[in-house]
Chain A
Amino acid sequence: MMIESPGQQGLDDFAALYVGHYEQLLRLAVLLVGDMAAAEDVVQEAFIRVHRTIESRSLCNPLAYLRQSVVNLARSELRRRLVRLRHAPRPMPDAASAEEGAYAAISRQEVIIALRRIPARQREAVVLRYWADLPEAEIAGLMGVSVGAVKSYISRGLSRLGPLLEGVS
């Protein structure tokens, strides 16, 4: 798919891109960042960036661009979360986050929890390989590492996830 820019055709293509891929990218982001609210932020920001890009030039492979943005933004989100954890004050006594209840279900899933417990690079490689079903070369491009490194991340990720997911039905 190629999105031409600008014009109505480009906007129609953008809508088609959203319809065709938003949900899958949201799921990818959930697996990478481990919670729904942050995943929505990440994917919506990625779509906004694509839209802004096609306003100025054509995009040959918008899906690849989106995927790359989601992976990059997910990394930023995880970095940001670490900073938050280090510095966050205690919440007010009567004020739980409004999202806590709504999104608690997904955070409690064993698979999501297990993914959170392996290094970020291994998680990216495993999710892109076994959930997004991307070839190793494409994953290498997305992650900005060599194919050999991707193979290594996948192998280590599988080894670490094995015991963590043992007994999960």
Chain B
Amino acid sequence: MTPPPLSPERLAELLDDAVQHVTAQADALDRIRRGVRRRRTAHRAGAVLLAVAVLAGGGSTALALTSSRGPSGLASSASVSGEQRPAAGRTPASAPALSSGIALAPVPAPSADASSDAAAKAAFPAAGQTARWDMDGDGRPDTAAIVPVGNAKTTVSFQLVLHLTRLGAQTVPFTATSATDMPPHGPVIVGAADAAHDGHAELFVQVDAGCCTEFWTIFRLVDSHVYQMSISGQPVRLPVGGSVMANGGFSCDGPDLVTYGYQPRTEASTFLATRAIYRWAAATLVLVSQQQTTIHGPPADPALAKYSGVDCGDLPQYISAG
């Protein structure tokens, strides 16, 4: 039997019902304002970048954004502008502000020659500020940039292009689901830290981002080659940040990487918190133990606080989006 046609009035009613409980988050206007401020900064930085690129005569399409305050950077096509990331205590708002954008330099494409290599090094911040970028362990700062492969607006394939002072140029292909036509405009180098406590910095790259949660992957130097870390055969994707209802993070605890997070259960005021310990083993993180706890209480319950945030060297600390 054919169902009766859907009347426009009935559809309007159903659509209204479907979204009537959707309300703005209290800090939405603040997020927009922060986004505007960061966009403005990026715009100015972009102009400087363009001038530097033109003066350097670089033919490369890749640009690196490196922070003078800490290890963070972004590479993208020349038409994409980066934004500034606060050094710490960042609220992971959906506003597209995901990279420290201070010093900018043309970075050689994967098949770079010696002159473009020199250009990349010339624009890197002073040694004292980039010591934490020392990935190859020779005490000198290394550089990194991300280059899209294929259509810069739609691709999910990227290359991490590294210039290691001791080991030379290396390229690591990886997949990131952050398309470049939407914030955060492709993957972003979040920072570097000696997370494995082995004297070499691991590089953390954001490969996806939603409204409140970002997903980070890790690149590590193993036997003179840089690899993307994996867990159970899959590239690492660490959830970072969130809201008061759900959150995630990790800490670098001695030889281990500890991931944690919580999310609401179907019962009111009940959360499922998870903590997992991974051991660094070459280019793999091996699960050592995992613990799940049910927490009863309001979203602001202090018991939940220890299941959020990042505590790992100089990586940005994360606070709840509220």
Contacts and interface: CB of A to CB of B under 8 A. Distances in A.
Interface of A: 15, 18, 22-23, 26-27, 30-31, 36-41, 44-45, 47-48, 51-52, 55, 73, 76-77, 79-80, 83-84, 86-102, 106, 109, 111-112, 126-127, 129-131, 133, 158-159, 161-163, 165-166, 168
B5 A37 contact: no
Contacts of A76: 179, 181-182
Interface residues of B, number: 66
Given A15-B29, A52-B36, A92-B231, A99 B242 contact: yes
B236 interface: yes
B156 A109 contact: no
Contact of A48 (B39, B181, B259): B39
B264 interface: yes
Interface of B: 3-6, 8, 11-12, 14-19, 22-25, 28-29, 31-32, 35-36, 39-40, 93-96, 154, 156, 175, 177, 179, 181-183, 208, 210-213, 231-232, 234-239, 241-243, 245-248, 259, 261, 263-265, 274, 276, 287, 290
Contact of B210 (A15, A38, A51, A92): A38
A66 to B, nearest CB: 12
B237 A89 contact: yes
Contacts of B246: 98-102
Given A37-B210, A77-B182, A47 B32 contact: yes
B237 A30 contact: no
A94 B276 contact: yes
A77 B93 CA distance: 17
21 contacts: A18-B32, A22-B24, A22-B28, A22-B29, A23-B23, A31-B19, A39-B22, A40-B25, A44-B28, A45-B183, A48-B32, A76-B181, A83-B156, A86-B156, A89-B175, A91-B237, A92-B234, A96-B263, A101-B246, A126-B11, A131-B19
Nearest to A48: B35
A100 B263 contact: yes
B234 A89 contact: yes
A133 B12 CA distance: 9
Nearest to A164: B6
Given A30-B19, A41-B211, A98-B263, A158 B248 contact: no
B261 A98 contact: yes
Nearest to B236: A92
Contacts, number: 191
A131 B13 CA distance: 8
Contacts of A130: 8, 11-12, 15
Contacts of A83: 154, 156, 177, 179
Given A18-B29, A130-B11, A37 B212 contact: yes
A159 B197 CA distance: 61
A37 B18 CA distance: 16
Given A94-B259, A98-B241, A159-B5, 19 more contacts: A26-B22, A27-B22, A30-B19, A36-B211, A44-B31, A44-B95, A47-B32, A52-B39, A76-B179, A89-B237, A92-B238, A95-B237, A95-B248, A95-B261, A98-B212, A98-B261, A100-B263, A102-B263, A111-B17
Contact of B239 (A39, A79, A80, A95): A95
Most B CB contacts (10 A, CB to CB) among A44, A86, A162 go to A44
B174 to A, nearest CB: 10
Given A48-B95, A83-B177, A158-B5, A94 B35 contact: no
A48 B81 CA distance: 15
Contacts of A100: 246, 263
Contacts of B96: 45, 48
Contact of A80 (B36, B95, B181, B287): B181
Contact of A40 (B177, B211, B259): B211
Contacts of B261: 95-96, 98
10 tightest A-B contacts by CB?
A98-B242, A37-B211, A101-B263, A162-B6, A111-B18, A98-B246, A27-B19, A102-B245, A131-B15, A80-B179
A111 B15 contact: yes
A44 B234 CA distance: 33
A48 B94 CA distance: 11
A39 B243 CA distance: 15
